[in-house]
Amino acid sequence: MISCTDTSRNETFFGKTVPPERNILRYVTGDEPESLDPAISTGQPEARIYMALYDGLVDYDGKTLAPNPALAETWEVNNDSSELTFHLRHNGRWSNGDPIDANDFVYTFRRALSKELASRNAYLAYYIKNAQAYNSGMVFVRDQQTGKFLLAKDFSNEDANEPVSLKPIAPGTAEYPTSAQRSTPAADSGFHQEMHSPLRLVLPGDEKKRNDRLNQDAKLKSAVAGKEFVPVRAEDIGVEAVDNYTLRISLVQPAPFFTGLLAHQVFRLVNRKTVEQYGNRWTEPNHIVTCGPFKVKTWKPYDTLVVERDPMYWDAATVKLDEIHFYPMADNPSIMNLYKVGEVDAVLNHTVPNAWLETVRTKKDYMDGSEAAIDFLQINVTRPPMNDVRVRKAFNFAIDKEAWAKWRKIVKPLTAFTPEGIFQGYPQPKGDQFNPERARQLLGEAGFPVTKNSDGSFSCPKFPVDKVEYIYNTQESNKAMAEWMQAQWKQNLGVTISLRNMEWKTFLETRSKLDYSGFSRSAWSADYMDPFTFLSLFYTGGESGTGWLDPKYVAMLDEANRMLDPKKRYELLAQAEKYMIDNQPVIPIDTSAVNWVKKPYVKGMYPNPGSLFPWKYVYIERDRAKWDMTAPSLNEELSAQR
Amino acid sequence: MVRFIIRRLLITIPTILVVITITWALVRLAPGNFYSGEKKLPAAIEKNIREKYGLDKPWYQQYGRMMWAIIGHRDFGTSLKYEGQSVNSIIFRSLPISAAVGLLAYVLALVVGITAGSIAALKQNSKWDHSSMALAMLGISVPNFVLGPILVLVFSLSLYWLPPSRWGGFPSRNLILPVITLAAVYMAYIARLTRAGMLEVLRSDYIRTARAKGLSETQVVVRHALRGGLMPVVSYTGPALAFLLTGTVVVERIFALPGLGNYFIQASLNRDEPLIIGIVAFIAITLLLMNLVVDVAYAFLDPRVRY
Amino acid sequence: MDLESEKRELTEAEDHIESRLNPVDPDMLHVGQEMAVAEGDVDPGPQHEFVRGTSLWQDAWRRLLRNKLAVFGLVVVVLVTIISVAGPTVIKRTLGFTPDYIPSNDPRLVKSFPPFTGPNGEFSWTHPMGTDNAGRDQLARVMQGGQISLFVGIIATLVSLLIGVTYGAVAGYAGGRVDDVMMRFVDVLYSLPYVIVVIVLLSMFRSQTARGQLILLFISLGSVSWLTMARIVRGQVLSLKNQEFVLAARATGVSNTKIVFRHLVPNTLGPVIVYATLTIPQIMLTEAFLSYLGFGVQAPLASWGSLAADGVQNIAIFPWQLIFPGVTMALTLFSLNFLGDGLRDALDPQMRTV
């Protein structure tokens, strides 16, 4: 169709492959970034930019996404993963030359959790003691005479199974494993001792909400009477600068995955002086101060963000590229067109449209690999007929996920809830396989018998199709998926579910308000590399968009997180996952693949499960012999990069 | 004349305010809000966001505050979706791009259209006339969102001569395809207008006189006929600007140009209220003022017209 | 007295300007000029002499038929309409599939084939326009798209006709201050970025049902184009209202409403028809680009605009997905424009240039 004989347009790769003249990388990030403030945005497009501009305690490994030392050289985790101590390097610098120390981290964490900032990522930090209370504007309850605060455990029904971080430090016991090369500070600060006490009771800061809560619990109300309410302050958060280069974080529960979480952008440093001086205009190119391998050169919104190498960066010697040009674009075909003509060198994940796969996948610059993300259908379990688990299971049995994976070509069928093959050593449970017979049987048991017609098709006249719909946000791939699912249910159950698409924001609102009856298309990608980031969707009722909340499941998750042995923890998590899947509040569909392209002369970028790249290791290879003739393996031994 | 101008200006102000009010009402009545993400936000965070943007006050207070800021300080506020960027700065930044593409397109359309139309009129009923008018009709009939991608297919994706999208600064190769795509319709309209106007003028007495006087054909055309024949083109400028605007929206979308039109579409999709209102108000003001300028210019060109 | 005449002069001059300044189509200029002529300067021209000789319509029809391009336009438009309306049924009967049929049982077929190509690359008559990404037959989809595009075009034009004719006739007949105010309103609306507000409206009130979307489109598209129709009708009415037949009707006590709608409006039919025929392609174009941007019809409804939007996505590897709906649309608009031109020529012999 579009064949040509120019040597720069060889058929091995998709389109023109000529390295840029200058030592720069041109990368499409996705939607226009909301802000250059790393605490604000939740999206992946922004995450990649933040990784270039800002550094944190740890950084993502380019192949495994495990936490690698960044501004923290070493760290220790206490015996039950409820407290961490980080030893910072001494040569960290801001882009303006100022030194970086532990106080910068304290400031950053406190700011990220402040109410005024209204960061949408704040919830990631809720594992830190008093973080949620501070972010929600809650208050402690203090007895004015004794000065003592009321404790949460006195008013809850749960077993007191407190993590080590909340227990007073018994003299002589080692809180941390003794293998650490650097010892944890012997002199204990008052703050640390304060952290090692049981959680305080918190109540809503808003008076009306508080009174509502008190009125519900007579014991609470009487205990609170006559006491004063002390607002939770930023200083109460469990983050401490023990000295200028030591940072200690106290958690409310054991969280073995927490170190990996700290690579997230919300925990990356922002410069206190700049923020205090310029307020919410601090990210403007002539004000902004950063601490990552690159700094802002020019920013034309909707056009290009150009970042250049920062000579002040502590690891500037490793940084290979002179500049990165980030192009904010969200339309996949346009992105692919730019790539084909050679105007960009690499693109973000999920860019190759399904219809193009057959052509593009055969090219050597196609990046394949499993992603830490899943596609699934949420079910609103609060509305009939979906409140009957048999009906839900019937619809799950009626979908042939293998066929779906074949059609989509780049996904793997999913029967449980965590993405397949991502978490090493995790015994992922198996959900139900495709079984249309069983599906029809279950549906019949639930009161909606399925009859077979003379031409082999099925019908189910009793099923209330007017009460059930499938909603999705408007996009070609979602539409194709919806139509496919609809066809499956029609074919296997004889039920025609109506489809309804809506614009993204309306869709989110409808879903979170549980304003729909039936199914909703959904997807989830990992915030950090641990199964809990998926399973925690059902930890509280509001996040899942299904209305399913089971205290038993929550207890199972809590118990798993208390385990010190990672293997045992994984087992318990898998059991919880199986329990959740058996209750079928969702229909799992597939594990995504990363699905992007990069030119063969771009080296140091790997198709890892999160599509997050530590930019300092990326470079342009001008020697054709050394080009990546296929997708670089994630298992390749690290060579001269470290 | 002055009375006319003043009258028009006086009508402009309440009109703009009405437009703003209607737009604001439309945005408020729609379901959905701008800060939703894929994960449902804990109630406390949502509350923080609503407080931060003043969304928790009653609607009339919000309306009043907005109108006061607009009328009193010409301040359209800050974009809801894009932190820290004021609406005024966004408009200021994106306007030159839309203006550059639009003006270049119009100039191209004028040059090509007037030339083609004049020649068609002079050689009426010839092959040139028929073919150029048919081509013009084609230009009006092929939508810009069909023409644009086809140009991209040929000159970018197949021949690799030009970039398929994005803004490359001014001037750059990136301008070529968007300008041609946008200009196509107007080239066609202007060619037809010119031809019609010229035909009418060429039949008139004073042209016969000029020819009888022995002036060369070129002189007849350029010195006499063109002035009268171009009247319809001038008067078309007013609505042309309006259409150019809507055409720009599609072209900016196709070629991913960071112009006013693209921002407008994004703002509509994001329910970014201050940005929507700011752009709509800006466009309305521009159109009204430009129409006024065209009307006044017309009075200077055509002495028969009196205000 | 003096003030009155000065004011009238101003109004006349402004009318004159307005009509000159805002033609929607270049050649409508002349019809517009004719129509919006200032008071007292009436030369009705042959189309108003409906009493003498052969009927005006027969004359016009004959003139139209002599115009080859217009006939071509008429034929194509009629053909396209018939094919769009009846086509899908024919295809269903002969080939067995509907426009939205996805051959999901055979994964080999669920992809985009070039025109006249079968599953193994061989020549095949089944899909003359190829298939889209889901394996749906393009020809059937283009036909279905045509149904919606034409339907929206015609109905929205009728809406704008209704509003415009009524408004213009009332304004023209009422005259004086009422006319003044009404036309001021039109002027103001004319200079507003209408389509922009329509986009805001459509983006805020997306409807889920097909009916809802279509109704939204009719209203918003119809309300964009009634302005010039109103101007034209007003001008016509202005020039007609002092004719003898009107005076006679008034003298015999016919009510004003009847005069406007039974006597005056039918005599404006000529330019109204011409303008309506020229409005249809404009509205279709507007609907198409609104659908292209995502504000018009939504899936599963398809119009040529939304088909083009779908097709442009894959233009790098499957160009036929854009080319066929695009060319079909261009051809239809082309023909409608020629037809409109021809009608205008037929009804206004002064303008004949072919």
- Report chain C residues whose CB lies below 8 A from the CB of A353: 313-314
Average pLDDT of chain C is 76
With contact defined as 3+ CB pairs under 8 Å, the chains touching C are: A, B
Neighbouring C-beta atoms of residue A90, cutoff 10 Å: 12
Length of chain B: 307
Integer Cα distance of A385 and C306 in angstroms: 35
Kindly report, residue by residue over C252-282, the tens digit of the pLDDT: 887 877 777 777 777 777 788 888 888 898 8
Distance from CA of C337 to the nearest CA of B (A): 8
Cβ atoms of residues C318 and A355 within 8 Å: yes
Q: Is the pLDDT of residue B37 over 70?
A: no
Distance from CA of C58 to the nearest CA of B (A): 26
Average pLDDT over residues A357-383: 90
For residue A229, what is the enclosing H or E element? strand A228-231
The pairing of beta strand A24-30 with beta strand A323-328: parallel
**Cross-strand pairs, A205:** none
Q: Is the pLDDT of residue A295 over 50?
A: yes
Q: Could you write out the three-class secondary structure of chain B?
A: CHHHHHHHHHHHHHHHHHHHHHHHHHHHHCCCCCCCCCCCCCHHHHHHHHHHCCCCCCHHHHHHHHHHHHHHHCCCCECCCCCCCEHHHHHHHHHHHHHHHHHHHHHHHHHHHHHHHHHHHHCCCCHHHHHHHHHHHHHHHCCHHHHHHHHHHHHHHHCCCCCCCCCCCCCCHHHHHHHHHHHHHHHHHHHHHHHHHHHHHHCCHHHHHHHHCCCCHHHHHHHHHHHHHCHHHHHHHHHHHHHHHHHHHHHHHHHCCCCHHHHHHHHHHHCCHHHHHHHHHHHHHHHHHHHHHHHHHHHHHCCCCCC
Integer Cα distance of B87 and A576 in angstroms: 49
- Report chain C residues whose CB lies below 8 A from the CB of B284: 192-193
Integer Cα distance of C194 and C223 in angstroms: 9
Length of chain A: 642
Interface of B with C in 16-35 (CB under 8 A): 19, 22-23, 26-27, 29-30
Cβ atoms of residues B281 and B16 within 8 Å: yes
Integer Cα distance of A209 and C109 in angstroms: 59
Neighbouring C-beta atoms of residue B129, cutoff 10 Å: 20
Determine the 3-state secondary structure of A320 from DSSP. Answer: coil
Interface of B with C in 176-215 (CB under 8 A): 189, 192-193, 196-197, 199-200
Q: Please state the separation of Cα A206 from the chain's center in Å.
A: 30
- Rounded to the nearest 10°, the torsion over CA A570, A575, A579, A584 is 50
Kindly report, residue by residue over A231-266, the tens digit of the pLDDT: 999 999 999 998 999 999 999 877 888 999 999 999
Handedness of CA A138, A139, A141, A147 (dihedral sign): positive
User: Would you call B146 and C308 a contact, using CB atoms and an 8 Å cutoff?
Assistant: yes
Residue A58, class by beta-carbon neighbours within 10 Å (0-12 exposed, 13-18 middle, 19+ buried)?
buried
Distance from CA of A334 to the nearest CA of C (A): 8
Q: Is the pLDDT of residue B164 over 70?
A: yes
Kindly report, residue by residue over C171-207, the tens digit of the pLDDT: 888 878 888 888 888 877 776 777 777 888 887 777 7
* CA-based R_g, chain A, Å: 26
Determine the 3-state secondary structure of A154 from DSSP. Answer: helix
Neighbouring C-beta atoms of residue C8, cutoff 10 Å: 14
User: Would you call A303 and B158 a contact, using CB atoms and an 8 Å cutoff?
Assistant: no
Q: Which of the residues C204, C280, C284, C295 would you substitute to probe the B interface, choosing the one with the greatest number of B C-beta atoms within 10 Å?
A: C204
Neighbouring C-beta atoms of residue A291, cutoff 10 Å: 27
Interface of B with A in 23-52 (CB under 8 A): 31-45, 48-49, 51-52
Structure tokens at B136: 């013009």
Residues 6+ apart with CB under 8 A from B237: B290, B294
Q: What pLDDT sits at residue B41?
A: 56
Q: Which of the residues A341, A344, A507 would you substitute to probe the B interface, choosing the one with the greatest number of B C-beta atoms within 10 Å?
A: A341
Q: Could you say which of A6, A300, A343 has the minimum Cβ distance to residue B163?
A: A343
Distance from CA of C304 to the nearest CA of B (A): 10
Distance from CA of B160 to the nearest CA of A (A): 6
Give the closest residue to B258 by CA, choosing from B104, B90, B106, B144. B90
Integer Cα distance of C354 and C345 in angstroms: 9
Percent of chain A with pLDDT over 70: 91
Residue with the larger pLDDT of the pair C142 and B272: C142
Which residues on chain C place their C-beta less than 8 Å from a C-beta of chain A?
102, 104, 107, 110-112, 133-134, 203, 206, 208, 294, 298-300, 310, 312-319
Phi first, then psi: give them for residue A533, nearest 5 degrees: -65, -25
Amino acid identity, residue A573? Answer: L
Kindly report, residue by residue over A197-221, the tens digit of the pLDDT: 888 888 888 888 888 888 888 888 8
For residue A518, what is the enclosing H or E element? strand A518-525
Q: What pLDDT sits at residue A504?
A: 67
Integer Cα distance of C238 and C178 in angstroms: 13
What is the number of H-type helices and E-type strands within chain C? 14, 0
Q: pTM for the complete prediction?
A: 0.76
**Mean pLDDT lowest for which of A486-500, B33-47, C28-42, C127-141?**
C28-42
Cβ atoms of residues A306 and A298 within 8 Å: yes
Integer Cα distance of A642 and A636 in angstroms: 13
Q: What pLDDT sits at residue C60?
A: 78
Q: Which residue of B has its CA nearest to C341?
A: B137
Average pLDDT of chain A is 86
User: Would you call C318 and A340 a contact, using CB atoms and an 8 Å cutoff?
Assistant: no
Q: What pLDDT sits at residue A171?
A: 55
Structure tokens at A405: 């994976």
Residue matched to tokens 């729909």: A516
Q: Could you say which of A37, A341, A506 has the minimum Cβ distance to residue B163?
A: A341
Average pLDDT over residues A13-26: 92
Interface of B with C in 83-122 (CB under 8 A): none
- Which pLDDT band, with edges at 50, 70 and 90, does A621 fall under? very high
Q: Which of the residues C138, C205, C208, C312 would you substitute to probe the A interface, choosing the one with the greatest number of A C-beta atoms within 10 Å?
A: C208
Cβ atoms of residues A415 and A588 within 8 Å: yes
Average pLDDT over residues A491-502: 86
Phi first, then psi: give them for residue A151, nearest 5 degrees: -105, 145
Structure tokens at A157: 């029904």
Q: What pLDDT sits at residue A367?
A: 92
Max Cα separation, chain A? 88
- Which pLDDT band, with edges at 50, 70 and 90, does C13 fall under? very low
Kindly report, residue by residue over A411-424, the tens digit of the pLDDT: 889 999 999 888 88
Structure tokens at A370: 């499993």
Q: Please state the separation of Cα A64 from the chain's center in Å.
A: 15
